């Protein structure tokens, strides 16, 4: 019987072997190599030139995975011996390397035999194969990969056992980690101190506003445009946060209100198809109002439904609206599949908003207004009713809450925020068309609300930055965006289901039944003394 330790090492090796094969079969190593090239600045060398540039980057990528394999194989066990760590890593790395080598051998042989593998595996096109095999003969490339993975795994074990677990780490921690933690703590305390005082709090806000004013002037058009896209999704996310996060209504057709806002401003300001040519500033409140009205009107029939049923109905509504805008029947009214061109942008004191920076300002103002309104609502009778409804709708009704009215309110306000996003979106792009409003938009917004932290506005903003900002920055990953997106969602929901920055309530909800944090000390009670007699007074 093989010792448990070696069996575990083999399992680790097999896992990494599967991972490596999977990555090669989807052709990810090419993307990774290009990405590394982009980071190092040597990415644009030709792909089929042996070990130069891209090939080296790809080997580096595989070596990183080998390193990872070695580190995870050399996990801490008792007794924590050097020999054990190296043995485990060699076993895991050897297995993973052998499998990768075998794959390379097969690919090289088949390619040499003239088999067109791309007919079966779309990613195995000749250029990818050439990069993967580095133009070497089958035996040599197999040995190369085996050696590469095995050696990097050993290196990983050395790192894991030698650096991460030895006294080095403690030293590193003392020199770096502790002061870092302390400074974070100090920063937190400073922020608390600053926000506790009224004057310094407004001072801080002032600095933030100043930063928001200066930043778009500094960072250039690419970042302004990217942040603008993020900004649209921040507006959408904040709106959906009211509907899903606060009132607990699962709306999968949220894109409809976004579309209504966009189309309203487009149809009112564009020369085609209606030639109304209204000013943006007039169209803005109308767009918000129409979206809110649509939210309420849709809400009246559907909000009697609960949970899953509501989700399906709203999903259908979103799809109907998309189909309508695309249909020929409404061509004269909405421009049909061609969309609406030359949507007007805002002008202020004779100056036209044209750059990404201008829209960034506009969106920042919009977001601040939305945050302000939401915060005020959250801490009011309405906000409490929403949360109560989310917690237990039946009991909320028994408490005298007219749940239909409260749901309509949440739906209408959420729709109004989406409408605002739509107005900015159409006006920034100077165009709007049916293809902008797909189911993916609804799903994206829902994802960023969930990943960011439902019911918590900083969380929603963080979610928008992560889910919309990162893909924009990682343009090279284009093909894998959805894979990465899905993987992120899965990992996120497993590791941190409450979201990046959850609201306190949400965190408790998700971790119900686990050991609770020390309940916060009961705060100051109002000093009124009361007896039963004046309860009804």
Partner 1 sequence: MTSALETHQLTKTFGGLAAVGRLDLVVPEHRIASVIGPNGAGKTTVFNCVTGFYPVDSGDILFYGRSILGLAPDQITYLGIARTFQNIRLFANMTAIENILVGEHPRLRSMWFEAVFRTPRMRQEERGAVAEANRLLLFVGLGGMGDELARNLPYGAQRRLELARALASQPRLLLLDEPTAGMNPNETREMMRFIQRLRDELGITILLIEHDMRVVMGISEQVTVLDYGLKIAEGTTLEIQHNPRVIEAYLGRGASSGLGEANRVAA
Q: Which residues bind partner 1 (CB under 8 A)?
A: 373, 376-377, 379-385, 387-388, 391-392, 394-403, 409, 413, 505, 508-509, 512, 516, 519-520, 522-523, 525-526, 528-536
Q: Which long-range contacts (CB under 8 A, 24 or more apart) does 344-353 make?
A: 344/265, 344/269, 344/270, 344/277, 344/278, 344/279, 344/280, 344/283, 344/427, 344/430, 345/280, 345/427, 345/428, 345/430, 346/280, 346/281, 346/284, 346/427, 347/279, 347/280
Question: 431: part of which helix (H) or strand (E)?
Answer: strand 431-432
Q: Minimal distance in Å, beta carbon 95 to partner 1?
A: 48
Nearer to partner 1, 152 or 503 (CB): 503
Nearer to partner 1, 201 or 381 (CB): 381
Q: Minimal distance in Å, beta carbon 93 to partner 1?
A: 48
Examine residue 346 and say whether the peptide bond preceding it is cis (omega within 30 degrees of 0).
Answer: no
Nearer to partner 1, 442 or 456 (CB): 456
Q: Spell out the alpha helix ranges (H) of 243-279.
A: 255-269
Q: Minimal distance in Å, beta carbon 325 to partner 1?
A: 31
Q: Minimal distance in Å, beta carbon 510 to partner 1?
A: 10
Nearer to partner 1, 174 or 392 (CB): 392
Q: Minimal distance in Å, beta carbon 301 to partner 1?
A: 17
Neighbours of 531 (CB within 10 A): 6
Minimal CA–CA distance to 434: which of 537, 338, 331? 338
Q: Minimal distance in Å, beta carbon 366 to partner 1?
A: 15
Tell me the backbone φ, ψ of residue 341, rounded to 5 degrees.
-100, 170
Tell me the backbone φ, ψ of residue 408, rounded to 5 degrees.
-60, -40
Nearer to partner 1, 191 or 404 (CB): 404
Q: Minimal distance in Å, beta carbon 399 to partner 1?
A: 5
Beta-bridged to residue 181, according to DSSP, are: none
Quickly list DSSP for 478-525. GGGHHHHHHHHHHHHHHH-TT-SS--HHHHHHHTTTSPPPPPPPP-PP
d(CA 528, CA 360): 49
| CA 44 from centre of chain | 29
Nearer to partner 1, 391 or 478 (CB): 391
Q: Minimal distance in Å, beta carbon 414 to partner 1?
A: 13
Q: Minimal distance in Å, beta carbon 380 to partner 1?
A: 3
Beta-bridged to residue 36, according to DSSP, are: none
Neighbours of 178 (CB within 10 A): 11
Nearer to partner 1, 249 or 413 (CB): 413
Q: Minimal distance in Å, beta carbon 506 to partner 1?
A: 8
Nearer to partner 1, 80 or 391 (CB): 391
Q: Minimal distance in Å, beta carbon 224 to partner 1?
A: 31
Nearer to partner 1, 198 or 275 (CB): 198
Largest CA distance in the chain: 96
Q: Minimal distance in Å, beta carbon 512 to partner 1?
A: 8
Q: Are 124 and 103 contacting, i.e. CB atoms less than 8 angstroms apart?
A: no
Nearer to partner 1, 83 or 526 (CB): 526
Secondary structure E strands in 327-366? 340-341, 347-348, 351-352
Nearer to partner 1, 114 or 519 (CB): 519
Neighbours of 361 (CB within 10 A): 16
Contacting residues for 262 by C-beta, under 8 A, at least 6 apart: 287, 422, 423, 425, 426, 432, 436, 437
Beta-bridged to residue 341, according to DSSP, are: 431
Nearer to partner 1, 46 or 380 (CB): 380
Nearer to partner 1, 218 or 529 (CB): 529
Q: Are 88 and 157 contacting, i.e. CB atoms less than 8 angstroms apart?
A: yes
d(CA 366, CA 83): 61
Neighbours of 509 (CB within 10 A): 16
Q: Minimal distance in Å, beta carbon 505 to partner 1?
A: 5
């Amino acid at each position: 019987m093989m010792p448990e330790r070696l069996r575990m090492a083999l399992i680790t090796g097999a896992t990494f072997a599967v991972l490596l094969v999977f990555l090669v079969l989807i052709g990810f190593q090419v993307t990774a190599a290009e990405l590394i090239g982009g980071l190092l600045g040597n990415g644009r060398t030709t792909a089929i030139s042996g070990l130069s540039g891209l090939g080296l980057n790809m080997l580096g990528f595989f070596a990183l995975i080998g390193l990872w394999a070695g580190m995870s194989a050399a996990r801490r066990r008792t007794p924590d011996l050097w020999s054990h760590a190296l043995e485990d890593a060699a076993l895991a790395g050897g297995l993973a390397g052998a499998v990768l080598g075998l794959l390379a051998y097969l690919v090289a042989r088949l390619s040499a035999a003239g088999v067109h593998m791309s007919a079966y595996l779309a990613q195995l096109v000749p250029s990818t194969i050439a990069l993967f095999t580095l133009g070497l003969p089958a035996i040599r490339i197999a040995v190369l990969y085996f050696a590469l993975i095995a050696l990097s795994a050993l290196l990983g074990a050395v790192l894991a056992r030698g650096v991460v677990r030895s006294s080095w780490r403690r030293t590193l921690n003392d020199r770096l980690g502790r002061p870092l933690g302390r400074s974070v703590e100090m920063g937190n305390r400073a922020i608390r101190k600053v926000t506790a005082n009224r004057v310094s709090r407004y001072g801080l806000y002032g600095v933030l506003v100043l930063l928001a004013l200066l930043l778009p002037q500094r960072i250039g058009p690419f970042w302004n445009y990217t942040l603008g896209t993020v900004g649209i999704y921040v507006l959408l996310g904040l709106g959906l946060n009211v509907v899903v996060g606060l009132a607990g209504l699962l709306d999968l057709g949220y894109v409809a209100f976004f579309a209504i806002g966009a189309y309203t401003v487009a149809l009112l300001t564009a020369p085609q198809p209606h030639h109304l040519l209204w000013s943006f500033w007039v169209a803005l409140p109308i767009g918000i109002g129409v979206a809110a009205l649509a939210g309420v009107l849709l809400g009246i029939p559907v909000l009697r439904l609960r949970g899953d049923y509501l989700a399906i109905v709203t999903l259908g509504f979103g799809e109907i609206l998309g189909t309508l805008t695309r249909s020929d029947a409404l061509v004269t009214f909405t421009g049909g599949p061609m969309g609406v061109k030359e949507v007007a942008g805002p002008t202020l004191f004779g100056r036209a908003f044209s750059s990404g920076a201008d829209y960034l300002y506009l969106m920042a103002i919009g977001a601040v207004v939305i945050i302000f309104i939401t915060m005020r609502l959250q801490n009011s009778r309405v906000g409490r009713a929403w949360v109560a409804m989310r917690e237990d709708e039946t009991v909320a009704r028994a408490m005298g809450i007219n749940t239909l009215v409260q749901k309509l309110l949440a739906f209408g306000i959420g729709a109004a925020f989406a409408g605002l996003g739509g107005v900015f979106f159409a006006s920034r792009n100077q165009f709007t068309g049916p293809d902008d409003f797909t189911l993916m938009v609804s799903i994206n917004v829902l994802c960023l609300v969930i990943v960011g932290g439902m019911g918590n506005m900083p969380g929603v903003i963080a979610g928008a930055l992560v889910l919309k900002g990162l893909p924009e920055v990682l343009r090279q990953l284009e093909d894998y965006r959805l894979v990465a997106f899905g993987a992120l969602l899965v990992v996120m929901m497993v590791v941190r289901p409450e979201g990046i920055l959850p609201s306190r309530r949400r965190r408790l909800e998700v971790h119900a039944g686990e050991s609770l944090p020390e309940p916060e000390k009961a705060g100051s009670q109002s000093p009124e003394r009361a007896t039963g007699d004046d309860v009804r007074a």
